[in-house]
C-alpha cells in the first residue's frame, strides 16, 4: 500500500494539486506491478479499476523514497474512506501489495557489457596477484554488485584488505584502479597520519589558521567523484584520524573543514588495508579455515584485530577503534593468504627474468638457466623463515647475479661470453622430498633456514654457476646466547603412574591427552583441538605435578611460569614465542589468578589480560600451543580467559583420595620416630579431605612436638590428635571424629536413597563424605540435566532435603539434631517459597505470583496465608520424609556403611546397594 500512496503523492505534486485523490491512486497503478496477486486484486477492485494488462516504467524505489521525505500532502476524504475500508479487509500501510514496474524487455542483453568488464578486471587481477584466488573472487563479486545496486548513503563499496604484510593488498587496490574504467585512484599512507592533528591533512583546516587549506582527501573526491580511495595500513594512523572518517563510511559524505562544503563520497570505492592479526596468519588451522570457511575466518580475524592495541599519547588504545571496525565489517572483509612457495616462486621468476634482460643488455653477457623451476624454489627457500615478498624481490639479485659479478671482478682477465646457472642432483632430490605446503610452516615454527653452496667454474668462455650442498639448519637467535627471561623448556619425567591416587582426575587428563595428540583425527571430524585447560582446587592437591605428568604422557615440551611472571607484557610475548619455537608444546602457568581481572587494576593490567587473550587466540584450535593453568581461586580469573574457545576445559583437582593418603601416611610412618603400632587404615579414614600439604604439616608438627617433649617414639595418640587439630581446628578425640563421620555418612546416604526413591530420573553422579569447600559431604547430581519443575518435583526435592536430618535423628537420637542441616532447611524453605509464592502451585493460592504483586502493590500481599501454606508444605514434607526414611532404612544403612568404607561411591554402586 505504501508504494501506491507514494506514487499517488508524486503524481499529485507533479500536477500541483493540494490533495491526493482516488484518481492519483488509479494512475499510480499504471506504473506499479503486483507483489501479492490476491491483495493487488483487492486493491484494484476497491479503486474500481481493472487489473492492469499493460504497464509502463516510470517510478523507481529511490524516487518513491525521495517522495516520502518531501512535505506531507493530505488525502482527499474519499481516499481516507477507501483506506479505512481496505484496513477492515486486512490491507494497511504494512501490506506489501505493489512495487515499481520494470520493463525487462527493454534491458535485454544489457548484462553482457557488465559481465565483460568484470571479467576483464578479474583476469587482470588473476594475472598479477598470486595465491589470492578467494580475494580476487570477493573483489569481483563486489564489483558485480556495484553494477546493479542502487546508490545508497555510503560509498559504493568498502573493502577491507586484511592479511600478512607483502601479500599484494596495496597492489590489488592499484590494479583495481587500472581495471575499473572511469575511476581515479588516490592512496594515502596512513603512517603519515600518526598525530592527533593529522586529520586536517585529510579533511582540511578551518579558515583563520595560518596553514589553513582544503583537505587532500575531500579535495580529491570533489574533483573526482568516481574514485578509488586507499587507506594503506589504517592501524598506524591516530585514532582521531580514523574517527574523522566514520561519517564518510556510514553516510557517504564528509565535510571539508576549510570550505565548509559537504563532499559526496557515494560514488567512491574505499579500500582499507591492515596487517593486524599477525599472530594467527602463520597458523595452519587458520589458513585451512580461511580456505574452507571464510566467513568464520573473517570473524576470527576481526576478533583478533579488536584486541590489538597500540600506545597513543602515552595511553594504550585499540589499534583500530571499535566504531571503525563496526563500519568496516559492514563492507567486504577480504582475507589475503600468506603466500605459498609456488606463488613466491612465480614472483621470483618474473623478477629474475626482468633483471636478466637488464643484465644482458648492460654487460653484454647471455644468461641461461637449466632446471630453472628447481633453482627458483631453492632461492625462495633461502629467505626462510619469514618469506617476505618485498625481501624476495629486492634481494633476489644477491643470490643470482651478485656471485657472477663477484667472479668477474676477481678474474678480470677471464674471457666470458655466457653464464649458465643450474642446480645439482642433490638439490633436485631435496626439493622432491619436501612437502612444499608444510615446509614453510616447519621452517617458520622451528626458526630454520635452507642453506646452500655455489660453485663457479669457467669452462671455455662459459661461466657455470652450480647450486649444491643444500641443508636445513636452525638460525641463531639472540636469546640463545643470553638470558631468555628465565623461560626454560623441559620434558618432565614424572608420569601418572608415579602420582599416588587421583584416579578420576588422571582418567580425565588422559582423555584430554588423546584430544591434544590426535589433532588430525579431530580435524577430519570437523572438531577443533582444545587450546587449554584449568586445574583448580585447594592448595596442596598436586596440580603442578599433574601438569608435568600430562606433558610427559603427551610427550610434549613443557614451559613453566607463574602468574606473577605474566605481569609483564613483554614476558607474555616471549613466553608464547618460545613455545611456538618448540610447538606443539605446553605452557604451564601456576597461580594464573595473579593476573588481575580487567577493570580492577587499571589500564595497564587490562592490557596484560588483552595480550594474554590475543596470544591464546593466536593458536586456532590449539594446534600449536596448549595452555595448562593452575589456581586455588578460580573466581579471581578474568572470565574472558576461561571463555569457550580459550582455556575452556576446567578440571577440579580434589583432595587426596584414600590411595594417595595411604601413600603419604606410609611414607611418613617409615621414619624411625614413629612406632610400629600405628593403624594406617585408621589414619586413612580420619584424614579424609586432607591434601598432601596437610599431611606433610601433620608429619612436621608431630615430629616437632616429639622433639620438644623429648619423646623417643611417636605413638598413635599424638598423630590422631594432630590430625584432628588440622581437620577441625581444635583438639578432638577419636570418638568425636568418628561420630562426625558417621553422622555425615547417614546424612548423605539418606539424601541419596530418598532421591532415588522419589526422583529416580534425577541422575546422581556420586555420594561422598570427602570434605569440599563448605561441606563435609555431599550427593553430587548431574548439573547439565534439565528438569520440569512441577509441584510434585518440588515437593519431592523438599523431602530429599529433609531426609538427611531425619536419618541422623533416627540413628543417633537427639545427638543427631545438629546445625549440619542448616543448608538443607534453607533449601527446603526455598522450594516451598518457589512453589507457593512464585509459581502459584498451591491450591489455596493458585496462580498467584506474590513477588509480582508485591512489586505492583508496594507491599507483601497474602503474607499470613503464604506463611501458613509454607508451614503446611514443610509439615507435610517432614511427615512424608520420616515415613520414607523408616521404610527404606536398610538401604540407607547399607549406603552409609559403604560410603564410610569407600568415601566415594558412584551411581552404579548406589544402584547396587539400593537393590
Location of C-alpha cell 560514488: 267
List, in sequence order, the alpha helices (H) in 493-639. Answer: 503-517, 519-524, 543-554, 569-581, 603-617
780 sits in which H/E element: strand 778-781
Location of C-alpha cell 536430618: 805
Q: CB under 8 Å to 860, separation ≥6 — which residues? A: 850, 854, 866
Location of C-alpha cell 628465565: 486
Q: CB under 8 Å to 452, separation ≥6 — which residues? A: 378, 382, 427, 467, 468, 469, 470, 471
Catalytic pick among 257, 553, 748, 903: 748
Report the distance separating Cα 841 and Cα 849, nearest Å.
10
**Set of cell numbers at residue 443:** 621452517
DSSP state of 568: S
**Set of cell numbers at residue 13:** 505534486
Helix/strand/coil percentages in the chain, nearest 5: 55, 15, 30
- Cis previous bond, 544, omega within 30: no
Q: With CA atoms as reference, report the closest residue to 637 among 686, 566, 732.
A: 566
Whether 748 is a known active-site residue: answer yes
Bridge partners of residue 562, in order along the sequence: 590
Report the distance separating Cα 829 and Cα 873, nearest Å.
9
How does DSSP assign 293-339, residue by residue? Answer: -HHHHHHHHHHHHHT-EEEETTEEEESS-HHHHHHHHTSEEEE-PPP
CA distances from 688 to 11, 426, 695 (A): 90, 67, 11
Q: Which residues of 91-128 are buried (b: 16+ CB within 10 A; e: fewer)?
A: beeebebbebbeeeeeeeeeeeeeeebbeebbebbeeb
**Set of cell numbers at residue 189:** 599512507
Q: CB under 8 Å to 596, separation ≥6 — which residues? A: 605, 608, 609, 638
Report the distance separating Cα 647 and Cα 650, nearest Å.
8
Would you say 251 and 153 are in contact if contact means Cβ atoms under 8 Å apart?
A: yes
Half-sphere exposure of 246 (CA within 13 A, CB side): 14
Half-sphere exposure of 743 (CA within 13 A, CB side): 20
Would you say 598 and 605 are in contact if contact means Cβ atoms under 8 Å apart?
A: yes
Report the distance separating Cα 241 and Cα 756, nearest Å.
67
Half-sphere exposure of 421 (CA within 13 A, CB side): 23
Q: CB under 8 Å to 504, separation ≥6 — which residues? A: 654
End-to-end CA distance of the chain: 72
Burial of 197 (0-12, 13-18, 19+ CB in 10 A): exposed
What residues are labeled active site?
748
Amino acid at each position: 500500500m505504501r508504494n501506491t500512496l507514494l506514487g499517488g503523492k508524486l503524481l499529485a505534486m507533479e500536477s500541483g494539486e493540494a490533495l491526493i485523490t482516488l484518481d492519483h491512486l488509479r494512475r499510480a497503478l499504471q506504473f506499479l506491478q503486483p507483489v501479492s496477486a490476491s491483495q493487488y486484486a483487492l486493491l484494484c477492485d476497491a479503486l474500481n479499476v481493472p487489473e492492469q494488462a499493460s504497464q509502463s516504467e516510470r517510478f523507481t524505489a529511490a524516487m518513491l523514497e525521495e517522495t516520502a521525505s518531501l512535505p506531507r500532502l493530505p488525502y482527499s476524504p474519499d481516499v481516507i474512506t477507501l483506506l479505512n475500508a481496505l484496513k477492515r479487509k486486512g490491507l494497511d500501510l504494512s501490506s506489501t501489495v505493489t512495487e515499481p514496474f520494470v520493463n525487462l524487455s527493454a534491458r535485454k542483453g544489457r548484462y553482457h557489457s557488465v559481465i565483460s568488464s568484470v571479467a576483464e578486471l578479474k583476469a587482470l587481477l588473476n594475472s598479477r596477484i598470486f595465491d589470492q584466488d578467494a580475494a580476487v573472487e570477493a573483489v569481483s563479486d563486489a564489483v558485480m554488485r556495484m553494477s546493479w545496486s542502487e546508490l545508497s548513503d555510503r560509498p559504493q563499496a568498502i573493502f577491507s584488505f586484511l592479511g600478512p604484510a607483502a601479500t599484494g593488498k596495496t597492489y590489488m587496490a592499484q590494479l583495481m584502479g587500472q581495471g575499473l574504467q572511469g575511476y581515479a585512484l588516490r592512496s594515502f599512507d596512513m603512517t603519515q597520519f600518526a598525530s592527533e592533528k593529522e586529520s586536517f591533512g585529510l579533511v582540511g583546516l578551518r579558515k583563520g589558521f595560518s596553514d589553513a587549506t582544503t583537505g587532500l582527501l575531500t579535495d580529491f573526491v570533489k574533483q573526482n567523484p568516481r574514485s578509488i580511495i586507499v587507506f594503506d595500513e589504517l592501524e598506524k594512523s591516530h585514532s582521531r584520524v580514523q574517527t574523522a572518517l566514520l561519517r564518510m563510511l556510514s553516510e557517504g559524505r564528509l565535510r571539508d573543514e576549510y570550505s565548509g562544503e559537504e563532499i559526496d563520497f557515494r560514488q567512491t570505492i574505499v579500500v582499507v588495508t591492515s596487517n593486524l592479526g599477525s599472530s594467527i596468519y602463520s597458523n595452519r588451522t587458520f589458513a585451512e579455515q580461511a580456505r574452507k570457511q571464510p566467513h568464520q575466518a573473517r570473524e576470527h580475524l576481526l576478533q583478533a584485530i579488536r584486541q590489538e592495541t597500540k600506545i597513543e599519547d602515552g595511553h594504550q588504545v585499540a589499534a583500530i577503534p571499535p566504531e571503525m571496525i563496526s563500519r568496516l565489517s559492514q563492507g567486504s572483509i577480504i582475507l589475503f593468504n600468506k603466500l605459498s612457495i609456488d606463488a613466491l616462486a612465480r614472483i621470483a621468476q618474473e623478477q629474475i627474468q626482468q633483471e636478466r634482460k637488464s643484465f644482458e643488455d648492460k654487460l653484454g653477457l647471455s644468461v641461461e638457466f637449466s632446471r630453472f623451476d628447481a633453482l627458483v624454489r631453492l632461492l625462495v627457500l633461502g629467505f626462510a623463515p619469514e618469506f617476505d615478498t618485498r625481501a624476495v624481490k629486492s634481494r633476489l639479485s644477491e643470490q643470482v647475479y651478485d656471485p657472477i659479478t663477484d667472479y668477474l671482478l676477481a678474474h678480470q682477465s677471464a674471457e666470458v661470453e655466457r653464464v649458465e646457472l643450474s642446480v645439482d642432483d642433490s638439490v633436485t632430490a631435496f626439493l622432491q622430498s619436501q612437502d612444499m605446503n608444510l615446509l614453510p610452516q616447519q621452517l617458520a615454527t622451528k626458526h630454520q633456514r635452507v642453506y646452500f653452496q655455489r660453485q663457479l667454474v669457467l669452462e671455455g668462455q662459459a661461466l657455470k654457476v652450480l647450486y649444491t650442498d643444500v641443508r636445513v639448519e636452525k638460525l641463531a637467535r639472540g636469546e640463545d646466547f643470553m638470558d631468555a627471561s628465565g623461560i626454560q623448556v623441559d620434558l618432565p619425567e614424572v608420569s601418572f603412574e608415579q602420582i599416588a591416587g587421583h584416579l578420576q582426575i588422571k582418567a580425565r587428563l588422559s582423555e584430554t591427552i588423546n584430544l591434544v595428540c590426535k589433532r588430525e583425527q579431530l580435524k577430519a571430524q570437523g572438531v577443533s583441538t582444545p587450546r587449554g585447560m584449568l586445574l583448580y582446587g585447594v592448595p596442596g592437591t598436586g596440580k603442578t605435578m599433574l601438569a608435568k605428568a600430562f606433558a610427559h604422557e603427551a610427550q610434549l615440551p613443557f614451559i613453566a611460569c607463574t602468574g606473577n611472571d605474566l605481569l609483564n607484557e613483554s614476558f607474555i610475548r616471549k613466553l608464547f614465542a618460545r613455545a611456538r619455537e618448540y610447538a606443539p608444546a605446553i605452557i604451564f602457568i601456576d597461580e594464573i589468578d595473579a593476573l588481575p581481572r580487567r577493570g580492577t587494576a587499571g589500564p595497564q593490567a587490562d592490557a596484560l589480560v588483552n595480550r594474554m587473550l590475543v596470544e591464546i587466540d593466536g593458536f586456532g584450535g590449539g594446534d600449536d600451543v596448549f595452555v595448562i593453568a593452575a589456581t586455588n581461586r578460580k573466581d579471581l580469573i578474568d572470565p574472558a580467559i576461561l571463555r569457550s574457545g580459550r582455556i575452556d576445559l576446567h578440571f577440579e583437582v580434589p583432595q587426596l583420595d584414600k590411595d594417595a593418603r595411604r601413600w603419604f601416611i606410609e611414607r611418613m610412618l617409615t621414619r624411625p620416630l614413629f612406632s610400629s603400632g600405628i593403624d594406617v587404615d585408621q589414619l586413612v579414614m580420619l584424614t579424609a579431605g586432607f591434601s598432601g600439604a596437610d599431611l606433610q604439616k601433620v608429619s612436621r608438627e608431630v615430629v616437632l612436638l616429639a622433639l620438644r617433649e623429648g619423646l623417643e617414639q611417636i605413638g598413635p595418640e599424638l598423630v590422631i590428635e594432630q590430625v584432628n587439630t588440622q581437620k577441625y581446628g581444635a583438639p578432638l578425640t577419636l570418638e568425636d571424629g568418628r561420630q562426625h563421620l558417621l553422622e555425615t555418612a547417614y546424612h548423605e546416604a539418606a539424601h541419596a536413597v530418598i532421591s532415588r526413591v522419589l526422583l529416580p530420573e534425577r541422575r546422581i553422579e556420586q555420594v561422598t563424605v570427602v570434605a569440599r569447600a563448605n561441606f563435609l559431604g555431599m550427593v553430587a547430581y548431574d548439573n547439565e540435566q534439565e528438569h520440569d519443575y512441577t509441584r510434585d518435583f518440588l515437593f519431592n526435592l523438599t523431602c530429599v532435603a529433609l531426609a538427611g536430618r531425619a536419618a541422623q535423628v533416627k540413628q543417633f537420637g537427639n545427638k543427631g539434631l545438629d546445625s549440619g542441616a542448616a543448608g538443607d532447611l534453607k533449601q527446603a524453605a526455598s522450594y516451598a517459597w518457589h512453589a507457593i509464592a512464585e509459581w502459584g502451585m498451591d491450591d489455596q493460592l493458585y496462580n498467584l505470583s506474590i513477588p509480582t504483586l508485591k512489586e505492583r502493590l508496594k507491599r507483601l500481599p497474602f503474607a499470613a496465608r503464604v506463611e501458613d501454606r509454607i508451614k503446611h508444605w514443610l509439615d507435610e514434607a517432614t511427615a512424608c520424609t520420616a515415613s520414607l526414611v523408616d521404610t527404606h532404612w536398610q538401604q540407607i544403612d547399607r549406603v552409609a556403611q559403604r560410603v564410610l568404607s569407600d568415601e566415594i561411591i558412584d551411581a552404579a554402586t548406589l544402584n547396587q546397594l539400593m537393590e
